[in-house]
């Protein structure tokens, strides 16, 4: 397809292109917002060559009669049931008549647009099950979408355009995931539509890693955060975080070390004792920012997958976000829960939170950022460091030709190497000391207890350097299972070993 033709691919042209493809035939099943997507195919012309059936079941009784009862009607489970039911019918009724010359497909969505009161979550699930060639096993692409327009009619319009882009991309861009993802917002913008979960499945996508697709969603601005379970499965945030207390540890995890594990264990013990958390379901997360992933200037997919795999191998759920500031991360969690949010971090990260350069874009500067972060049931749990390790961190983080004191905090100069840097003796710039004291005294910041003294000298960047230069001392700094995986797969430039 030439560049000139690509420029002409507006929504109607995409729908018409699909309608004129005699080799595709299928069903459109849309629940909730109405038949917003299939409408484009009817309007484009030639729909009789594409559409076997279209259905929209608004009433729950009718929907249950067709697809069975569901605990939630706008859910992944409901979408999967719709795809299963409609694809089975399509093949049963048409395989004999045209199965040898037709690639069947089912497009389905279940969506809730803005209600009359305007107090609901406007979101939905969308999926397509389709054959690449006639009589082949089908493949699935499913995603979760959020609509940000303020009026229901605009959300419906956006949903229709997005659905056409989705179907067209599945048919014509499936071998180019980045092109597929970018095309989802053709004739739209990321200000109107967010995609926070995307998954490919089926024989045609055996070599596709849905985690990399999720990372592309963040890179292209279609969402600001994606999640992966311990088994590497792509998760939808609202399903995982809905009404739960959340504890998150932010780090580079390059690689995950014993200090990361101990920090989260110690913080979890404190978090579970909070009066606001007792008796509530809790979700524990490890989080990596895109800034961290892009620290070298480019995104290394192998490095990204290695970090996710290593965290998953020791049972952690991972979130990748585009939120460099802590207050933006906690604000993101507030989409899904009103329960308490805890953040586990080291003294070195607390130093960075008090670095005012990160808040130049806020009219209220650091005070505004703290106001947003601590507005509602948020607490920072701070893990200590040995003075020697803290000094190494500060020295490595300082800009070239700058003294360590150029950062927002330095260790008291009189402390010996083995003395701990804690919330009690951490120094911040003089003009911020009253603010820091206020946060301590009002328990917005709390030091962790019960930590393992043997881990307090560990810094991830030191461990990474040891791996790269072949110093076996790195093995004592990471969890045993992680050691084996790094060696077997040759991660982080470690010479690989046989299984």
Could you tell me the CATH number of the domain that includes residue 298? 3.40.50.620
Residue where a domain terminates, one of 192, 210, 228: 210
Whether residues 9 and 97 fall in one domain = yes
- H-only helix segments in 220-364: 237-241, 258-271, 290-293, 301-313, 326-333, 347-353
Domain containing residue 147: CATH number: 3.90.950.20
Whether residues 285 and 343 fall in one domain = yes
Residue 271 belongs to some domain of the structure: yes
Whether residues 187 and 311 fall in one domain = no
Other Cβ atoms less than 10 A from the Cβ of 393: the count is: 24
Whether residues 290 and 149 fall in one domain = no
Residue 218 belongs to some domain of the structure: no
Whether residues 174 and 292 fall in one domain = no
Count: domains in the chain: 2
Whether residues 353 and 457 fall in one domain = yes
Residue 260 belongs to some domain of the structure: yes
Whether residues 286 and 204 fall in one domain = no
In whole angstroms, give the CA distance from residue 321 to residue 339. 20
Token pair recorded at residue 475:
């093995």
Return per-residue pLDDT of the chain as tens, 499 residues. Answer: 444 344 458 999 999 999 999 999 999 999 987 789 999 999 999 999 999 999 998 888 888 999 998 888 899 999 999 999 999 999 999 999 999 999 999 999 999 998 877 778 899 999 999 999 999 999 999 999 999 999 999 999 999 999 999 999 999 999 999 999 999 999 999 999 999 999 999 999 999 999 999 999 999 999 999 999 999 999 999 999 999 999 999 999 999 999 999 999 999 999 999 999 999 999 999 999 988 777 666 778 888 999 999 999 999 999 999 998 999 999 999 999 999 999 999 998 998 899 999 999 999 999 999 999 998 899 999 999 988 888 887 777 655 444 444 444 544 445 676 889 999 999 899 999 999 999 999 999 999 999 999 999 899 989 999 999 999 999 999 998 899 999 988 999 888 665 5
Query: Do the beta carbons of residue 39 and residue 160 sit within 8 Å?
Result: yes
3-class DSSP state of 159: helix
**Structural domain span for residue 383:** 239-493
Whether residues 161 and 273 fall in one domain = no
Q: Please tell me the total number of residues recorded for the chain in this structure.
A: 499
Q: Which residues, 6 or more positions from 212, have their beta carbon under 8 angstroms from its beta carbon?
A: 177, 301, 304, 305
Whether residues 102 and 162 fall in one domain = yes
In whole angstroms, give the CA distance from residue 443 to residue 448. 12
Whether residues 192 and 284 fall in one domain = no
Whether residues 292 and 168 fall in one domain = no
- Whole-prediction pTM value? 0.90
Query: Do the beta carbons of residue 33 and residue 70 sit within 8 Å?
Result: no
DSSP single-letter state for residue 206: T
Whether residues 45 and 186 fall in one domain = yes
Token pair recorded at residue 54:
């279209």
Structure-token match 């690639």, residue found: 103
């Amino acid at each position: 397809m030439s560049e000139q033709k690509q420029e002409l691919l507006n929504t109607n042209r995409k729908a018409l292109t699909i309608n004129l493809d005699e080799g595709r035939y299928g069903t459109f099943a849309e629940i909730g917002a109405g038949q917003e997507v299939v409408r484009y195919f009817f309007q484009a012309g030639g729909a009789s060559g594409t559409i076997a059936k279209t259905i929209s079941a608004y009433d729950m009784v009718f929907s249950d009669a067709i697809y069975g009862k569901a605990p939630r009607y706008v859910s992944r489970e409901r979408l999967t049931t719709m795809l299963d039911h409609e694809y089975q019918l399509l093949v049963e009724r048409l395989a004999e008549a045209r199965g040898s010359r037709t690639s069947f497909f089912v497009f389905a969505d279940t969506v809730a647009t803005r209600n009359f009161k305007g107090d609901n979550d406007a979101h939905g699930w969308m999926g397509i099950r389709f054959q690449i060639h006639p009589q082949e096993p089908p493949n699935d692409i499913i995603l979760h979408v959020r609509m940000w327009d303020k009026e229901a009619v605009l959300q419906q319009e956006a949903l229709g355009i997005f659905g056409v882009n989705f179907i067209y991309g599945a048919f014509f861009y499936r071998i180019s995931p980045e092109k597929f993802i970018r095309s989802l917002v053709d004739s739209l913008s990321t200000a109107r539509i967010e995609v926070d979960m995307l998954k490919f499945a089926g024989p045609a996508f055996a070599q596709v890693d849905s985690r990399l697709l999720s990372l592309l969603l963040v890179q292209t601005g279609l969402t600001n955060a994606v999640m992966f379970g311990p088994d590497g499965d792509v998760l939808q945030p609202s399903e995982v975080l809905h009404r739960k207390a959340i504890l998150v540890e932010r780090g580079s995890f390059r690689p995950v070390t014993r200090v990361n594990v101990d920090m989260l264990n110690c913080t979890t013990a404190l978090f579970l004792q909070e009066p606001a958390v007792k008796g509530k379901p809790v979700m524990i997360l490890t989080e990596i920012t895109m800034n961290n992933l892009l620290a070298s200037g480019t995104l290394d997919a192998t490095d990204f997958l290695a970090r996710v795999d290593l965290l998953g191998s020791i049972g952690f759920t991972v979130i990748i976000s585009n939120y460099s500031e802590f207050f933006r991360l906690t604000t993101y969690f507030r989409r899904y829960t009103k329960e308490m949010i805890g953040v586990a971090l080291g003294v070195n990260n607390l130093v960075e939170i008090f670095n005012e350069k990160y808040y130049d874009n806020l009219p209220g500067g650091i005070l505004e950022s703290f106001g947003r972060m601590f507005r509602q049931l948020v607490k920072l749990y701070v893990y200590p460091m040995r003075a020697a390790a803290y000094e190494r961190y500060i020295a490595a983080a300082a800009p070239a030709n700058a003294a360590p004191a150029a950062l927002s905090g330095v260790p008291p100069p009189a402390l010996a190497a083995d003395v701990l840097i804690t919330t009690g003796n951490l120094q911040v710039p003089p003009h911020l000391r009253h603010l820091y004291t206020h946060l301590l005294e009002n328990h917005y910041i709390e030091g962790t207890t019960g930590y393992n003294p043997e881990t307090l000298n560990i810094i991830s960047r030191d461990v990474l350097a040891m791996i790269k230069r072949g110093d076996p001392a790195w093995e004592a700094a990471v969890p045993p299972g992680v050691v084996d995986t790094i060696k077997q797969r040759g991660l982080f430039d470690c010479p690989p070993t046989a299984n």
